[in-house]
Amino acid sequence: MTINNSIAELVGNTPLLRLSRFRQRFALPAEILAKLEYFNPNHSIKDRIALSMIEEAERSGRLKPGDTIADSTSGNTGIGLAALAAAKGYPFRVYLHDRLSEERFQILRALGAEVIPFSEVEGFAEVLEQSDGDFVAASRWLGENVITRQPNVFHTAQLENPANPAAHSLTTGPEIWQQTEGQLDIVIAAVGTGGTVSGIGRYLKEQNPAIQIIAVEPGPHSIPTAENPEAREITGVHAFSQVLPERVPPTLDRRAVDEAIAVELWQATAAAREVAVSDGILIGESAGAVLHAARQVALRPENHGKRIVAILADSGLSYLSTGLFDASITPGQLQVAAIYNPNESHHESDYVTTHS
């Protein structure tokens, strides 16, 4: 019999799926293989770093019985930490952006986490306003001024913890290499903390320096700014190529990245909906962004016949309340809303379609 004793034993070893019908639908000259990270026990790639950060802290003695684990997160890391903390007997406290999907709040509370929305942290509204909503700046302030000042708390600090990218150097990268028997040309992943592209990139480039690592970041219309503070973001995807150095997470190793591709929310939405009906997989916003980028890369003449591995980070089940799969709201309407003045009159057909 094969019986596991903890969900910690279920993390990793996720499948690769050839997106045959998606490729056929768009007549892609390159092959796309999807690394389906929603096969992790808590349905996202962040289970890997949650396990890595907790177990490294246990080994080093920084995390002791009776301590509370805490971090700020855009959702999936928090869910992974909450589940693994519960399985290991630790309390867990998480700080979340108020705009995240209701499913995330419900899941975290179901796992026993103490959930604190950003709006309930004294002084934090001013920090968000001053940083234009930047996640890195906000998380750094929370860590320095709130989390680390509490007694008996271990701050996992996912944005700077080396156990984050190490999880992907030790597990995700080797899995991809073994599953493809080293026959791959390009890997595409979204940048949140940067740990995924950094860890996978380091490992695979050690095996074959010719493998290209492409990082996905949000386009300009999917980033809140002082001029557009209400811009809808791609959950868990953060800009890194055109931002101040202090806003780039230390867990991102730019040396492992060959190219950055900017994707807008409406493009991510379209791709997530397309692959749901073409190949029967339900993916989240960041995974949709990666798939949109993969399709662009697959259409490049120089990539004819090549093999692309797309890291699809999580399940679409955590986005059902966000409108990601709401057919009454088209990607074209999201595009119009993001780009044009809502007080002006426009029609969806007036603008470029989302399939460009």
Between CA 128 and CA 134 the distance in angstroms is: 7
Catalytic residue list = 46
Taking a C-beta distance cutoff of 8 angstroms, is the pair 332, 261 a contact? Answer: no
pLDDT of residue 133: 63
The phi-psi region of residue 188 (left if phi > 0; otherwise alpha if psi is between -120 and 50; otherwise beta) is: beta
Between CA 207 and CA 221 the distance in angstroms is: 37
Between CA 348 and CA 338 the distance in angstroms is: 12
Residue 314: phi and psi, rounded to 5, are -155, 180
pLDDT of residue 132: 65
Q: Hey, what are 107's tokens?
A: 């899941």
Between CA 314 and CA 76 the distance in angstroms is: 8
pLDDT of residue 15: 98
Go through the domains of the chain in sequence order and give each one's CATH number: 7-40+162-336 (3.40.50.1100), 46-155 (3.40.50.1100)
* Measured CA distances, 58 to 62, 63, 67, 199, 344 (Å): 6, 5, 11, 21, 56
Q: What is the DSSP string of 135-163?
A: HHHHHHHHHHHTGGGSTTEEE--TTT-TH
Residue 144: phi and psi, rounded to 5, are -75, -35
pLDDT of residue 91: 97
Nearest to 323 by CA among 333, 314, 338, 313: 333
- Give 271: exposed, middle or buried? Use CB within 10 Å, 0-12, 13-18, 19+: buried
Nearest to 39 by CA among 19, 13, 17: 13
Q: Hey, what are 351's tokens?
A: 């603008």
* Measured CA distances, 123 to 20, 54, 75, 81, 114 (Å): 50, 29, 22, 26, 20
Between CA 297 and CA 301 the distance in angstroms is: 9
Mean pLDDT, 10 residues at a time, the chain of 356 residues: 94 98 98 98 97 98 96 90 98 89 92 93 77 74 89 95 98 98 98 96 98 97 81 89 84 96 97 98 97 98 98 95 92 87 37 29
